[in-house]
Amino acid sequence: MRKQLVIMGVSLLFITFCFSGCEKIGMKPDHITVDIMAAVFVNIVDANNTIMNISVDGISVTIKMIKNGGDQLAFERIVQNGLCQATGVFDLYKEQFIECTATVQNGYNNYDPVAPGNAMLTWETVNASTNFGNMYNWYPHIIIHMKNGSAI
């Protein structure tokens, strides 16, 4: 009789485990939702790449969030206090990446961007540090340097 109770107890624990969803704790998902909050900073630098204390408020910046070279979100933002921001959400699958780029279209006074700013996020990074809700928060900080007469 005691042996039967032990078998029934173990069976009950096994059935409870199977239907509880606990086996999914160790499983990695096939996709992860990535929340993006991109912050773009615009700085004016001199010939020695020293940041100059010149206000860049009012500059128009184009921010693009591109998933795997295909799906994309694009934003036009105006710089305030040296910064502009944009947010977006993508579902990222294995072997995919998200690239965030920022460009200043027309320069500012006599200053032109040295190069567009960018940041990249890969599946490997996301998969290694995702939370249990299959969510990942990404906060890329992109810096655009502008110089006097040194366009891209």
pLDDT over threshold 80, residue 20: no
Indicate the fold that domain 28-148 takes in CATH. Immunoglobulin-like (2.60.40)
Residue whose C-alpha is closest to residue 37's, from 71, 69, 73: 73
Task: Return the pLDDT at 19.
Answer: 62
Tell me, what's the pLDDT at 48?
Answer: 87
Contacts of 79 (CB under 8 A, 6+ apart): 40, 42, 56, 57, 58, 59, 60, 61
Confidence tier at 100 by pLDDT (50, 70, 90): very high
pLDDT confidence tier of residue 47, bands split at 50, 70 and 90? confident
Q: What pLDDT was estimated at residue 70? A: 83
pLDDT in the model for residue 77: 94
Take residue 76 and report the two structure tokens written for it. 């036009």
* Separation between Cα atoms, residue 133 and residue 136, nearest integer Å: 9
What is the model's pLDDT at position 21?
56
Q: Which whole-number Å values give the CA distances from 139 to 2, 19, 34, 84, in the listed order?
A: 59, 37, 10, 13
Give yes or no for a contact between 96 and 124, defined as CB atoms under 8 angstroms apart: no
Band (152; pLDDT cuts 50, 70, 90): very low
pTM of full prediction above 0.85:
no
Average pLDDT over residues 123-146: 85
